[in-house]
Amino acid sequence: MNTEELSHLPDSGDTLYQYFYRLWCAKEALYKALPAPDQKKVTLASLFYADLEANRTAWRLLETEIENYRVAIVTQEPLSISELPLIEINVP
């Protein structure tokens, strides 16, 4: 996290975990969406979650939860969760 994101870090409990995972998932999704040469130039701390959330970048962030898992999708095209095909995975 960058200094600004750390300054908003909740004290403890579920709020802390939700905040951490929300930022981590969004930043990881953005990092993975970047072309490899661009990945070499950035760190997760240099990616600003607030810019993604407020649509101040060329990237669009879609966040949701599936069961107890946080999901973050980053795309350059507008996207809604209803457009995504859902795949059922059966785990024994």
**Has residue 82 been placed in a domain?**
no
Tokens read off for 18: 């939700």
Tokens read off for 58: 């060329």
**Has residue 12 been placed in a domain?**
yes
**Has residue 38 been placed in a domain?**
yes
Q: How many domains does the chain divide into?
A: 1
**Has residue 87 been placed in a domain?**
no
Is the predicted pLDDT of residue 73 greater than 80, yes or no? yes
Amino acid at 48: F
The dihedral through the CA atoms of 28, 53, 68, 13 has a sign that is positive
* In 10-83, beta strands by DSSP E: 60-66, 69-75
State residue 82's pLDDT score: 66
**Domain extent at residue 49:** 3-77
**Has residue 86 been placed in a domain?**
no
pLDDT tens, position by position, 3-58: 999 999 998 888 998 899 999 999 999 999 999 999 999 998 999 999 999 989 99
